[in-house]
Structure 1
Amino acid sequence: MSKLKALLLFAMLVLSGCATGFNRLPYDAWYLGLFAPNYMEVWIETADAVDIHDRVFRRAMSGVAAINTPENLKPHPGGWGERPGAGAGKHVRGADLPRLIYVRWQSLVEPQTYEAYIPIPEATRQAMVKGEKAYCSFDGKWITDYRYMLTVGLAPGGVTKTWIGGPCLPPVEVARVVGTVVKLGPDSGRSGGRYALPLDPSSKAYIEKYGVPYGSW
């Protein structure tokens, strides 16, 4: 084998290792998902991740968070529910375990723009790579599952709450952080104060009837 071919092969192996096995996770990638309580619509300007090697993964997620807006105006959407789902998001590929999550979002029901820095403690990272025996009801099998899904809830008032969970493991709360108001407003001031989306008719009707249940998150 020529030296050139050997160098090219080595480079391919290094790149492949960086993309998959270099981070030594027991899965291909961890998942970052975001959601909002019923009717409390948000627009995510950016959700950035910083891994334990201080590599920054900008806009790991952006856009609409997962949310329910029932037409029957179910009252009392306060709280997060007994078992929050994974949220709308993406796998953060190429990243090692997370050290910090930064989220900047528009709370459309207020309206207000917030940002929050969510530190991920070492104990949480260790829990993300600990395999646990779990029963999966959807296929009736016992598996070794991991809590590789990191889910962030975004509520009015800038309140965030974070869980880790797996497809067949219940979520575990790991952080609650109250963000701060972004003084420049939506889109860092570039939109002239205009928010990204109008409220869904059901959300608008709910807010007009019941208001925002501050203090319940």
Structure 2
Amino acid sequence: MSNFLRIAVVALLLGGCSLVDSRSLPYDAWRLGFSAPNYMEVWIETADVVDVQGQVYRRAMSGNSAIQTPPNNSGDPKGWPERPGWGKGKYVTGADLPKKIYVRWQSLVEPQTYQVAIDIPESTRELMRKKEKVFCAFDGKWITDYREALVVGLAPGGIAKVWVLGPCLPPIEVTRVKAEIDPRGPYEGQSGGEYDTLSDISKAYVKKFGVPYGSW
């Protein structure tokens, strides 16, 4: 476990967990997903979860985030979509609702390595427990749905934005934080400073238009 995560976990445990948070989630598991703006490729070294019981789930997600790289520089990486999707991710099986999410990632267009511990407020967990009736366009029926997914958008400059959403329920923005640079560099300094490879299509976009800092 990295020193950064160890400090975050100890601080959480010393602060204690609210009894309100001890209730079981109303579904089998919640999902953690990641996305990035067009062409702004990232590589997630690790996404670790601390749930409301204080349990740590290391590498709940790693690898590429969801991203679009339209040909001929036809995409627009500025800002975030009005209705972000589920991102690339997986269900955090066995975990209670999240208290904190630690992410270390490589922003390949810069390149730079970032790390952040994202606090998930109780108001977000309340949204994740709340069932709502909604018309689902997918199957044309009224259903009872939960916002069982958290999506983290990662952008250059160390910006991380979080939404909570359900299969048929619209996303709600939860928080926006700015990560710190990990001075060790990629892979905690184990790669000799070498970053993962940026795709040719993203490289061409950044060479022509640059990185739209300040738009996220």
Give the TM-score normalised by the residue count of structure 2. 0.88
User: Is the partner of 1:128 in helix, strand or coil?
Assistant: helix
Give the Cα separation in 1 of the matches to 2:177 and 2:93. Answer: 25
1:214 alignment partner AA: Y
Q: 1:24 to 1:75 in 2, by over 3 A?
A: closer
C-alpha contact (below 8 Å) 1:114/1:180 kept by paired residues: yes
Which residue of structure 1 aligns with residue 214 of structure 2? 215
- Higher-Rg structure is 1
Give the Cα separation in 1 of the matches to 2:42 and 2:170. Answer: 25
Give the Cα separation in 2 of the matches to 1:160 and 1:210. Answer: 22
User: Is the partner of 1:170 in helix, strand or coil?
Assistant: coil
* Cα shift readout 1:50-104 (whole Å, capped 9, x = no counterpart): 0001100000000010000001212541111111001100100111110000000
C-alpha contact (below 8 Å) 2:35/2:88 kept by paired residues: yes
* Cα shift readout 1:114-170 (whole Å, capped 9, x = no counterpart): 001110001110110100111111110111100010000000000000000000001
Give the Cα separation in 2 of the matches to 1:175 and 1:125. Answer: 13
User: Is the partner of 2:71 in helix, strand or coil?
Assistant: coil
Is residue 173 of structure 2 the alignment partner of residue 178 of structure 1? no
C-alpha contact (below 8 Å) 1:23/1:95 kept by paired residues: no
User: Is the partner of 2:72 in helix, strand or coil?
Assistant: coil
Is residue 62 of structure 2 the alignment partner of residue 62 of structure 1? yes
Is residue 135 of structure 2 the alignment partner of residue 119 of structure 1? no
Which residue of structure 2 aligns with residue 189 of structure 1? 189
What are the within-5 Å matches in structure 2 for residues 48-197 of structure 1? 48-74=48-74, 76-196=76-196
Which residue of structure 2 aligns with residue 4 of structure 1? none
Which residue of structure 2 aligns with residue 204 of structure 1? 203
Which residue of structure 2 aligns with residue 19 of structure 1? none
How many matched pairs? Answer: 195
**Structure 1 gap segments, 5+ residues each:** 1-21
Give the Cα separation in 1 of the matches to 2:30 and 2:75. Answer: 34
User: Is the partner of 1:176 in helix, strand or coil?
Assistant: strand
User: Is the partner of 1:78 in helix, strand or coil?
Assistant: coil
1:110 alignment partner AA: E
User: Is the partner of 2:67 in helix, strand or coil?
Assistant: coil
User: RMSD of aligned C-alpha atoms?
Assistant: 1.1
Which residue of structure 2 aligns with residue 46 of structure 1? 46
C-alpha contact (below 8 Å) 2:136/2:168 kept by paired residues: yes
* Cα shift readout 1:33-65 (whole Å, capped 9, x = no counterpart): 001000000000000100001100000000010
C-alpha contact (below 8 Å) 1:39/1:67 kept by paired residues: yes
Give the Cα separation in 2 of the matches to 1:210 and 1:157. Answer: 16
